[in-house]
Structure formats: structure tokens, C-alpha cells
Amino acid sequence: MRRSLFVLLLVMILVIGTGVAAAQTRVGVAMPTQSLQRWNQDGAYMKQMLEEAGYVVDLQYANNDVGLQVSQLETMILNGADILVIASIDGSALGTVLEIAQDMGIPVIAYDRLIMETDAVTYYATFDNYMVGTIQGQYLVDALGLETLEGSVNIEITGGSPDDNNARYFYQGAYDAIEPYIKAGKVIIPSGQVEFEQIATLAWSSERAQARMDNLIAAHYSDGTPLHAVLCSNDSTAIGVTNALINAGFDDDEFPLITGQDCDIANVKNIIAGRQAMSIFKDTRMLAAQVVKMIEAIVNGEEPEINDTTTYDNNVKIVPTYLCPPVFADINNFEELLIESGYYTREQLGL
């Protein structure tokens, strides 16, 4: 009933409207939250690039509230959005509102998080998420010298949010990289927590990651057992793990290697200070530019550039996807990647 009334109201508004929205392509951009640095950057870059290309942009953040994001999308549709770009909070919770978009012929681009359980998503733009995890896992393989290691090292794993489809790709890529060394006895996970459901962190929460790490330290490392690395899927979970290790008195000279993703300012500062080994650099300028190219193709009646038509199954369809390449930043290359490229200034990183 709600959907029927909504569609009727929408049709009435479009019929009696001033026609201003039709004069210029209007793009609704829905971002999940402003509580994580990366989404602020994604939203800002997207808005800037779209407006520079001549589009009208409605950018909204939903504070990790699924109901609010649905309401924002409904409002975007009511206001005459021609195209929707959505970084979803819960990839399986948007089916109803996207049916409305589909009924209105509005293309939907899933932005860096695959929208699940609907055929209303038209395209997907993201980074190679399995490769993100592979790079993280391989970094630890190389940094710990696992190929030639005699003996073993202790590692723990901290994953991402179970309602984010990407989190499983990150986890699987990383786990596949270290699994041979687990089987060979070179990598020990003292907690025994290796399944995704055991290591997942709801909402990518730093606080939840810290609380879990507090418990792991108390249960498995309070007797002096060494911890050599923590494989964290992103920077917000890495911050939580780092805080737990600092509070537990881990020495800076023997701080465990910690992986991350997004190159948030706080985490890059930790890389400089020796409290995080690396972070995946996903240049949001690149992703935003690719989405703008997708939108331009759609507006011109052309097929957007796609480089993956087999991987991303949302349980209803294989979503045509463009994958941008991820790279990692560490103490050896962060200046070149992050400062010389103009992504950050030296002052932002406290240099």
C-alpha cells in the first residue's frame, strides 16, 4: 500500500511540476555515514566532479541508519532524480525503494558496496575487493618472512561488517593468502577464531573491534604470549585494535604488524609512528571519476565502461561492474602515494 501511494504521489508531482528537473540531469548520491573519514571524502569528490560536469547533485548521508537512507532515497526520487548513486548501509535492505526507482526508469549505480537481492541495480563501481584482501594477506606473508620462516608466528584476524557484502571479499582474499602457512604450521591463531562470523565487526565499529581485541588479549596474550600481527580489514577496525594493544602495554619497539584499508589520516599517522604497518589506498578520486564517466555514458544513451561481468552476484543477477585497482601504502611509499599526489598535505599528517 505504501509503495502504491508513493508512486501515485510521485506521478502527481512530476505531472504538475515546473519541469526544472528535466532541464538538467539530477543525480541523487546516497552515502552511508559521515562518521568515517572515507565516506566524507567519497561524497565530496562525487559532488565536486558531478557539479563540474554540469549535473545537479543531491548528496545525503544517512548516519548508518537504514531507515533514514531509505527515506532519503524516496525523497531523491520525489525530487526528480534521473540517476541514483548509492553506497548502501545494508545492501539487502533497499529492495522496495529501488523497485520504485526501477518503475520510474531511474538507473541505479551501486557505489563501492554491492546492493543485494534486487534486479533494480543497474551497475556497480568499486575497487577489486578480493584483491584488497589479497594485498593485505600477502603483505603479512612478506613482512613476516613466512616463505623461509623456521618456527611460527601468532596472528589474529579482525573482519568487517557482516551486512557489507565487500567485507567477505576482503576477508576471503586475505585468508586465502595466509591459509597455506596456517596449514604448514607457520601461522598460529591462538584464539582459534578464523571463520568470518567469528571475526566480523558490525558497522566497522572501532569500539567493537577494540572490545573484541581487549578480550583476545586477556584470554590469550596476558601471559606474555607474543602477538606478531593482526590482519584488520579496514582502518576503523585497525584503530580499535591499535587502541587495545596500546592500553594493554604493547611496546612500540615490538608492536604487532597491523593491516588496514582507506588510508584515513589517523591511520597514516599510526603508520608514521610505527603502530600500523600498512593501509590499502583506494583513491576515491579515481572511483568518483569512474562513476561520473558511467553517468555521462548513461545520459548519452551509451553503455558505460565495464571490466567485470562475472564476479558480483547479488543473489538476483550478475551486476555489470567496473573495478578500480587498489594499492597499499606503508612507511616506504606513503609520501609518494598520499602527499605528492595531492591526496593529503604534509600538515594534515602532522609532518
Do 293 and 304 meet the contact criterion of CB atoms below 8 Å apart?
yes
Does residue 339 lie in a domain region? no
Domain end position, chosen among 219, 251, 281: 281
With a cut of 70, which residues of the chain have pLDDT below it? Answer: 1-23
Model pLDDT, residue 50: 93
Domain end position, chosen among 281, 314, 342: 281
Do 245 and 216 meet the contact criterion of CB atoms below 8 Å apart?
no
Q: Which percentage of the chain shows pLDDT scores above 90?
A: 82
Regarding whether 244 and 307 lie in a shared domain, the answer is no
Please provide the average confidence, as pLDDT, over all residues in the chain: 91
Regarding whether 260 and 140 lie in a shared domain, the answer is yes
Regarding whether 133 and 277 lie in a shared domain, the answer is yes
Regarding whether 12 and 23 lie in a shared domain, the answer is yes
Regarding whether 140 and 102 lie in a shared domain, the answer is no
Does residue 341 lie in a domain region? no
Whether the predicted model's global pTM rises above the 0.85 cut = no
Does residue 350 lie in a domain region? no
Model pLDDT, residue 38: 81
Does residue 141 lie in a domain region? yes
Regarding whether 301 and 227 lie in a shared domain, the answer is no
Does residue 210 lie in a domain region? yes
Model pLDDT, residue 338: 95
Model pLDDT, residue 165: 85
Tell me the CATH number at 168.
3.40.50.2300
Give burial (CB, 10 Å; 0-12/13-18/19+) of 172.
middle
Model pLDDT, residue 75: 96
Structural domain harbouring 135? 129-281
Does residue 304 lie in a domain region? yes
Regarding whether 267 and 319 lie in a shared domain, the answer is no
CA atoms within 13 A on the CB side of 20: 5
Regarding whether 31 and 18 lie in a shared domain, the answer is yes
Does residue 157 lie in a domain region? yes
Model pLDDT, residue 41: 87
Does residue 206 lie in a domain region? yes
Model pLDDT, residue 23: 43
Regarding whether 175 and 276 lie in a shared domain, the answer is yes
The structural domain count of the chain equals 2
Regarding whether 92 and 135 lie in a shared domain, the answer is no
Torsion angle, alpha carbons of 69, 283, 170, 251, to 10 = -110
Model pLDDT, residue 169: 94
Regarding whether 8 and 46 lie in a shared domain, the answer is yes
Give burial (CB, 10 Å; 0-12/13-18/19+) of 345.
exposed
Regarding whether 167 and 95 lie in a shared domain, the answer is no
